[in-house]
Amino acid sequence: MVIFGKSWNLQVEDILKTTLEENLRMISGSIDFLRKKGIQVIFDAEHYFDGFKADPDYALETIRVATKSGARTVVLCDTNGGTLTYDLEQIVVKTKRNTDAKLGIHCHNDSGLAVANTITAVHSGVSHVQGTINGFGERCGNADLCQVIPTLKFKMGLSILGSDEISLSRIKDITNVSRYVYELANIPPNILQPYVGIGAFAHKAGMHVDAITKNSGAYEHINPELIGNKRRLLISELAGKAGIIKIASEYGLQFDNNEVIENILIRIKALESEGYHLENADATMFLIMMKEMGKNIELFKVKRWEVFTSKETETTVRAKITVDVKGTEYEEVGEGVGPVHSLDLALRKALLRRFPELEQVSLVNYKVTVVEGFSGTSSSVRVFIEFRNNGYSWAATSVSRNITEASEIALSEGYIYWLLVNSHNRGDRNDQR
């Protein structure tokens, strides 16, 4: 059981409104009571570092009393999260020198130092660590275990979670655990989170990508597979030939000559000058490559569409679309909560008449960003749509001054990508030629 008590004289006298001696008796009495019940006790010395700065003798005495009373571990808490790393290190060293207690560390992140302070405390002799997945906690949060655990294991060589074999196997799950906790909390994942963020091992600049393809250690401090993450090579106007070739190989594509690569780079730069961001739009990127290779990617063509919105007592949105599939036109209508939803319903109805495999495809993310705001409500917008089917996800993007047009293009590209991938997996490439 974990209990906490005060180790800062300010907290004892101004908050608890009691004496320093009585506080020591409360610490001793609480631990003694639990120990007599056969309960193992971990004592969190709250506000320890602030307490040590104010009165080191009294802060140390709270630890001695807790240890003497039978606490298995005494945890030094930076409760306000304001202790600087070099101060924390000195205090941990002095504490360890003046007590026989088994020490732990509990850091808050109010100064952005929770992880650094935790690692420093362990380096200074602490053997028990408290933290939370993704650093979730009050105010600015706690030490992020998704950063602390890999650092302790792979940077400091410490045994975590039992034997080395068990710890290596379980640490591989840490990326999935991080994302699962974000999902439970209904909080978007931090893409820049060290170790486990989807951007933690993402490489964009041409020079970086070229180096990574030759030696991953050139721009990666650790193998992402060790913590269940993966390397991502991003395409942008900074991309080089090596990056294009590497990403194409991940799609199973190979180029016959350098001219195709040059054309892809020219196309990417042109699109990004229009406001496109292709970094995470793998479907759009795949179709660009296929088109420049001379492949037929027009599995269907949207001939016309219209969206009508009206409101009296309730808002009604109705979309009508005509889709051409190899010379046969299909016209369908969709009614939804908004223009894009209605258009997607109509498009899916039409496509399902020829491509029933799209039935299981779902839209999981839809985002609109204003590319430039100089034109007010007539500004160009960038639409980003993410799709998923049986755990596999992909995304498409488009830019237009008309949000519905941008959405229709991104929707179509997302569906075309899946149809191409499906036919490729089945070995049926007739529609690609």
381 shares a domain with 345:
no
109 shares a domain with 43:
yes
Domain end call among 85, 120, 143: 143
Mean pLDDT of 333-352: 94
- pLDDT over threshold 60, residue 185: yes
- pLDDT over threshold 60, residue 247: yes
Mean pLDDT of 54-76: 97
Could you give the angle at the alpha carbon of 151 between the alpha carbons of 148 and 155, nearest 5°?
160
309 shares a domain with 405:
no
What pLDDT score does 425 carry? Answer: 54
Comparing C-alpha atoms, which of 85, 82, 89, 90 is closest to residue 108? Answer: 82
Task: Point out the least confidently predicted range of 11-15, 41-45, 284-288, 373-377.
Answer: 373-377
Domain end call among 89, 116, 143: 143
- pLDDT over threshold 50, residue 252: yes
What pLDDT score does 424 carry? Answer: 58
pLDDT in tens, 367-411: 999 987 677 778 899 999 999 998 788 999 999 999 999 999 999
Tell me whether residue 221 is in a domain.
no
Tell me whether residue 242 is in a domain.
no
pLDDT in tens, 154-177: 999 987 766 566 577 789 999 999
Grade residue 431 by pLDDT with cuts at 50, 70 and 90: very low
135 shares a domain with 18:
yes
What pLDDT score does 219 carry? Answer: 86
Tell me whether residue 107 is in a domain.
yes
Q: What is the pTM of this model?
A: 0.70
Rg (CA), the chain: 29
pLDDT in tens, 190-204: 989 999 998 898 876
343 shares a domain with 292:
no
What pLDDT score does 273 carry? Answer: 86
122 shares a domain with 84:
yes
Grade residue 44 by pLDDT with cuts at 50, 70 and 90: very high
In CATH, what number is assigned to the domain containing residue 379? 3.30.160.340
**Total domains present in the chain:** 3
407 shares a domain with 304:
no
Mean pLDDT of 323-333: 96
Domain end call among 111, 143, 175: 143
Provide the 10 A C-beta neighbour count for residue 416: 22
- The mean pLDDT of the chain is 89
Grade residue 86 by pLDDT with cuts at 50, 70 and 90: very high
What are phi and psi for residue 276, nearest 5 degrees? -70, 145
For 126-155, the DSSP string reads --EEE-BGGG--STT-B-BHHHHHHIIIII
Grade residue 268 by pLDDT with cuts at 50, 70 and 90: confident
In CATH, what number is assigned to the domain containing residue 350? 3.30.160
Tell me whether residue 223 is in a domain.
no
279 shares a domain with 310:
no
Mean pLDDT of 24-49: 97
Tell me whether residue 7 is in a domain.
yes
275 shares a domain with 417:
yes
Mean pLDDT of 200-218: 74
Q: Which domain holds residue 333?
A: 300-354
**Long-range contacts of range 373-377, CB-CB < 8 Å, 24 or more positions apart?**
375/401
394 shares a domain with 326:
no
- pLDDT over threshold 70, residue 319: yes
Tell me whether residue 348 is in a domain.
yes
Mean pLDDT of 278-295: 89
343 shares a domain with 426:
no
Mean pLDDT of 331-354: 95
Tell me whether residue 387 is in a domain.
yes
Tell me whether residue 41 is in a domain.
yes
Of the chain, the end-to-end C-alpha distance in Å amounts to: 66
SS3 category, 112: coil
More confident residue, 422 or 82: 82
Mean pLDDT of 342-360: 95
What pLDDT score does 240 carry? Answer: 64
Handedness of CA 117, 123, 124, 129 (dihedral sign): positive
417 shares a domain with 311:
no
In this prediction, what percent of the chain has a pLDDT beyond 70?
92
What are phi and psi for residue 76, nearest 5 degrees? -85, 120
pLDDT in tens, 116-139: 999 999 999 999 999 999 999 999
